[in-house]
Structure 1
């Protein structure tokens, strides 16, 4: 058991020491009333590198060793297919859980995690950091201020310019461990679409395929390496020049889905993993105008056209510069950890929602079923009504 004196701070564990395990460093960087006292990964080399990142934490190879440590919370940054099992284990041990998105890789898996949180009363938090991204917050504020009237349609194009390096050289490329990138990668944007629209998807249809990376024969994967070990943005162009892809590559590298939401909003989401540029573009159309973001991190702007009808014009009736933020995802990652700590310590309201996280997975899972079933429409299973501490934030108003 960790014996270090944390002086009244929350005692946290970081489970899974891959790329996203660096999330926990924001605890110390932000001076939060918490300390990482335990880290865990079955791979020795990752425990060693994790020890450099968290020098005051004890190291463990099996997450079950942490269940008896009397931790206040854990940050789960393990591969997606493990989220369900690990989250349930810690929830049932009474340990508050931060699980990086997606909550699980199936709708049923999400429902099992939510059921465990309901049964135990243990706090559950899902790392949908895009709700804290400045560009998303600017768009939401403009919508709530009535700048475009009532939202009726949302279109999102996601240009995943580093997709080959990020998602096709390791476990992400294997549908057994992700379901697919329409769920794994798309869960972020689906959650944002739901948040901006103030609704949840009820029916989808989708199309897509494995159009580039499936033809690359230079396989072998990356072993125990993590993205930071192999990623070099100045290499691997064009995408067909990539080497060292995962031995199993059976997820789609391009996909597009249509959504109908429970409040009548129509939405589309499109994702391509071999574009030369890497950013998200949202268009939100309302009864009195539309808005669109250009860029999604430093230097981005959101433009609003709402004053008159016209032909094409590059100028807008309102241009809002997106504030810069320090830290991953435009400053969203440190805000995420600060919110989790406050949530565990005092139960403060959060921008994120485990219920909304389930709804994002459910939309992505249904869309993947549609995509692989010839584009047939698929209904999204309704969520059983959660108990009070997992309340749908739309019903809390």
Structure 2
């Protein structure tokens, strides 16, 4: 496929995140959005008109959209539809850019990876923070060996107030709450830096004291997901991962992300201020390397790279480039399967009130 050939894209789901996808595609040369599907009658047509997609066809059934000659699809549905639409798209021969989280259940995620392998079609997951150059620095430091044997990682974040509404807070549509919405970003940051070691077990606690209280949330009567969670996860290689996340709390922060190694430690703080900040869906605020130099305790600030990248646009551009160049998925489902396995383990452990093992097939 040449760089001048037009890439034909379909959008499945026309909520708020779909607008971000459309805006990103519009910045890329030789890309055309030719179809939009949404199961709500009339919604796809309204979306097309509102976003100036004059050449796009509306559909209420995503399977009809998938019958078109398309190079790729962006899947922007509520979480509960991620699995079915992704599987249908790959079986229809389309390359897939799927919004996070990967799925609602671990079994769904496993099938999605299996279908991607069977069909040879791409399944890439939308973790745009990966495109922050500072995230590349974090990974390069961890992978360089200068921390020695990494044995403990602490990640996560907390908003003092930052609870979404609508489909995000209903278990039947979202599957999970803060874990799936923002926790998956924190997990990806840590696991990607480590090289995505396999999770082995999880001991977790979750709660939703804020979401179910009308004083804090206007949809408290139908809020049935977690707004807080904490877990200790055992990873391959003898690594302990302390994971914590919160949509709302009476505290300013749940702390920095930390990597502790036998030869050094790395501390990273998120950027941003205000009640919706403090989680890893934003930018890096600071990075510090803790190590010994000639027997002296030393703290070395790592300069934060200033950039003007639109990380969401970078994610979409990379997807299009992978289609053009015939490359594999930029953020492959095989990796994010481990992310989903941890979220699944957190929810199971919390419900059972005990540690649970994570069992994954060889794919």
Candidates 282, 287, 290, aligned match of 1:302? 287
Aligned-pair CA distance for 1:82: 0.2
**1:174-253 mapped onto 2 (5 Å cutoff):** 174-181=170-177, 182-198=179-195, 199-216=197-214, 240-243=215-218, 245=219, 247-253=221-227
Partner of 2:148: 149
Candidates 306, 310, 317, aligned match of 1:323? 306
Candidates 250, 256, 260, aligned match of 2:230? 256
Contact between 2:140 and 2:193, CA under 8 Å: does it hold in 1? no
Partner of 2:277: none
**1:19-30 mapped onto 2 (5 Å cutoff):** 19-21=16-18, 22-29=20-27
Partner of 2:104: 105
Partner of 2:49: 51
Aligned-pair CA distance for 1:370: 0.1
CA deviation vs aligned residue, 1:55-76 (integer Å, no higher than 9, x gap):
2322222212212111111000
Partner of 2:326: 347
Contact between 2:156 and 2:186, CA under 8 Å: does it hold in 1? no
Instruction: Report the TM-score when normalising by structure 2.
Output: 0.86
Aligned-pair CA distance for 1:348: 2.5
Alpha-carbon spacing, 1:159–1:307, altered in 2? closer, same or farther (3 Å): same
Instruction: Report the TM-score when normalising by structure 1.
Output: 0.79
CA deviation vs aligned residue, 1:123-178 (integer Å, no higher than 9, x gap):
222212232233322211222333422322110131134532x2xx2122122222
Where does structure 2 lack aligned partners over 5 or more consecutive residues? 272-281
Q: 1:42 aligns to what SS in structure 2?
A: coil
Alpha-carbon spacing, 1:40–1:211, altered in 2? closer, same or farther (3 Å): same
Partner of 1:173: 169
Aligned-pair CA distance for 1:77: 0.6
CA distance in 2, matches of 1:279, 1:70: 47
Aligned-pair CA distance for 1:15: 1.1
CA deviation vs aligned residue, 1:322-366 (integer Å, no higher than 9, x gap):
333332xxx2x1121111112222232554121011111011101
Aligned-pair CA distance for 1:32: 4.1
**1:330-369 mapped onto 2 (5 Å cutoff):** 331=311, 333-369=312-348
Contact between 1:206 and 1:258, CA under 8 Å: does it hold in 2? yes
Q: 1:215 aligns to what SS in structure 2?
A: coil
Contact between 2:122 and 2:328, CA under 8 Å: does it hold in 1? no
**1:77-116 mapped onto 2 (5 Å cutoff):** 77-116=76-115
Aligned-pair CA distance for 1:93: 1.0
Aligned-pair CA distance for 1:16: 0.9
Partner of 2:256: 281
**1:264-275 mapped onto 2 (5 Å cutoff):** 264-275=238-249
Alpha-carbon spacing, 1:349–1:38, altered in 2? closer, same or farther (3 Å): same
CA deviation vs aligned residue, 1:293-348 (integer Å, no higher than 9, x gap):
2224567221111135778xxx8323321333332xxx2x1121111112222232
CA distance in 2, matches of 1:107, 1:10: 32
Alpha-carbon spacing, 1:201–1:248, altered in 2? closer, same or farther (3 Å): same
CA distance in 2, matches of 1:13, 1:86: 12
* Residue 290 in structure 1 maps to residue 265 in structure 2: yes
Aligned Cα root-mean-square deviation (Å): 2.5
